Amino acid sequence: MRLRVLGCSGGIGGRHMRTTSFLVDGDVLLDAGTGVGDLSLAELALVDHIFITHSHLDHVASIAFIADTVGGMRARPILVHATRETIAILKDHIFNWQIWPDFTQIPSPEAPFMRYEEIELGRTVSLAGRAFTPLPAVHTVPAVGFLLDSGAGSLVFTGDTGPNDALWQIVNRIDNLKYLIIETAFANKERDLAELSKHLCPSMLAEELVKFEREAEIYVTHLKPGETELTMQEIEESSGRIQPRMLQNNQVFEF
């Protein structure tokens, strides 16, 4: 499997600031934040599946534009994989004919541009030999992370999450784990805000990584613009033997 980082920032503000989105093998998106907008029309038309961690706008904003832009160019609907709770939020608050058209009904309910596929925690979705498994996340709305497994290797993306013991119980059993992408949204001075919004800051990240028992490369995502250098400095000072690196736009992982 090949994962390309389209966006990994906690906000916008320049050509390197794109919100969360990853392209897997050209046909799968893992979250659909503003980073999707850098794909060409031809690349967008190849996306058959979108796996969503949760309903916050920085992770779902581009679903609306993908369906609108390339829906009519495709022979089959784009499948949006999300939990029942997240699907309900998307239906009620985005694809509701008021914020955006309901592309599960366009051009007809029988042949729409987009369809929802419900996922469940721990239940693997297999696509051409690739396994996508929702993992526990702790956030202000129903949320999951994902395990991507090619058979030869695997990658874990935590999604947006606060402290999460259930995640580590699963991650520590993954024998072929090569990469861990974990969020850290705030600097330590905003720990109260991180706790309230169910994100991590560097001191909380350090507390979480103590629970990590495997050997894998660790990358930090979702840093807030304007605080990137401070947050990474605090991560370096607090992470001990484990030294996470900052995730970068257009970085590629193969596993």
Q: Does 57 lie in the same domain as 125?
A: no
Q: Does 187 lie in the same domain as 166?
A: yes
| Residues paired with residue 182 on neighbouring β-strands, in sequence order | 220
Q: Is residue 171 part of a domain?
A: yes
Please write the tens of the pLDDT for every residue from 158-200.
Answer: 999 999 999 999 999 999 999 999 999 999 999 999 999 999 9
Question: Residue 228 above 90 pLDDT?
Answer: yes
Number of domains, the chain: 2
Q: Does 240 lie in the same domain as 199?
A: yes
Q: Which residue has the tokens 């609907």?
A: 77
Q: Does 175 lie in the same domain as 140?
A: yes
Q: Does 129 lie in the same domain as 30?
A: no
Residue partners of 210: CB distance under 8 A and separation at least 6: none
Residue partners of 128: CB distance under 8 A and separation at least 6: none
Q: Is residue 196 part of a domain?
A: yes
pTM attached to this predicted model: 0.96
| 8 contacts 38 by C-beta, under 8 angstroms | no
Q: Does 128 lie in the same domain as 238?
A: yes
Q: Does 59 lie in the same domain as 144?
A: no
Q: Does 70 lie in the same domain as 10?
A: yes
What burial letters (b/e) apply to 206-229, b meaning 16+ CB within 10 Å?
bebbeebeeebebbbbbbbeebbe
DSSP state of 161: -
Q: Is residue 254 part of a domain?
A: no
pLDDT confidence band for 14 (50 / 70 / 90): confident
Domain boundary among 73, 91, 119: 119
Domain region containing 177: 120-247
